[in-house]
Amino acid sequence: MIIVLKPDATADQIQHIEKSVHEWGLRTHFSRGTERSVIGIIGDESVLANKPLDVFPGVDSVMSIQKPYRLASREFQSKATKIAIPWGRPGGEPVEIGGERIVVVAGSCSVETPDIMLETARYIISAGARMMRAGAFKPRTSPYAFQGLGVEGLKILAQVRAETGLPFITEVMDTRDVEMVAEIADVVQIGARNTQNFSLLKAVGRTRTPVLLKRGIAGTLEELLMSAEYILSQGNDRVILCERGIRTFERATRNTLDLNAVPVLRKLSHLPISVDPSHGTGAADLVTPMAMAGVACGADLLLVETHPNPEKATSDGAQTINEAQFRKMMDGVRGIASVLGRSL
């Protein structure tokens, strides 16, 4: 349920409304808009069946939301959310996710040596990328596969950011690591395997670090939005949804990149939307066309794996593009973006 406030609603009136709702055993989420402000009510709406919220001072109207993902919905917030990420060096322009500029986030699947990470950072930034990605902690299907460098990997990413200015995204897998990762990383990623790890979702929701939330490997869009709701309900309103491919009967590609998801999510939610063509296809030669397609259907952010020498990549080399391929992809993405009145 959403309480739409009158333009002249006072702080005392808002406090009175929230206090009353809390006394009924429900929670509230206040959102201030340029013209109107709203109070979202979280919990069992049946409790409010006989509560005359519309007669409270300061209330303009009361709207019932049938969708279970209240805070993530367009009904709760019609205006698209924009997330600003500070540049990693003084004086740099912040990175805005959800605006007119499309943000390309690129890097190796796993954090590798400082030299490799710095070489990657330099060529992606020269090609137009504005953030870096790499996993310090790696969830792998096989327990014998490389699991990442852990804390040392975070330090390497922080060093690269200090030298180049590139903010970075990296994954968190364990509730015990959330505070540490959120303190160092510019954006924390919840991977496909943890999309419904509700303890982890609530833990990142209690931070104020932006969260990139990947769609589960067999998850519906409603399930993705419900996972976002867990984060939002804890007070962290800086969530980026990510379509990264789902498991279907098709075996020609590693996953099926469901680009229908982008315009559907745009209709349902105010949150920024990203596309991961690397995991979405599992094939390096498909990354460029699917990255371009992702931009064409409205993605705000692209998440791409690249490495100076994919043959020697520690993980996911088959879906990783090299520098020349990355630059070609950026040219294609830039061309599609310009047709749509956007830029990189």
Where do the domains of the chain lie, and which CATH numbers do they carry?
Answer: 2-63 (3.30.70.1140), 83-339 (3.20.20.70)
Model confidence over 25-80: pLDDT tens digits? 999 999 888 788 999 998 877 788 788 898 999 999 998 766 789 899 998 899 99
pTM: 0.84
Question: In the chain, what percentage of residues exceed pLDDT 70?
Answer: 96
Model confidence over 224-275: pLDDT tens digits? 999 999 999 999 999 999 999 999 999 999 999 999 999 999 999 999 999 9
Q: How far apart are CA 321 and CA 307, in angstroms?
A: 6
Q: How far apart are CA 208 and CA 30, in angstroms?
A: 16
Strands (E), the chain: 2-5, 27-32, 37-42, 59-63, 83-85, 95-97, 103-107, 131-133, 168-171, 187-190, 211-214, 239-243, 273-275, 301-305
Q: How far apart are CA 132 and CA 17, in angstroms?
A: 43
Q: How far apart are CA 119 and CA 83, in angstroms?
A: 27
Mean local confidence (pLDDT), 112-136: 97
CA dihedral 242→248→251→254, nearest 10 degrees, is 20
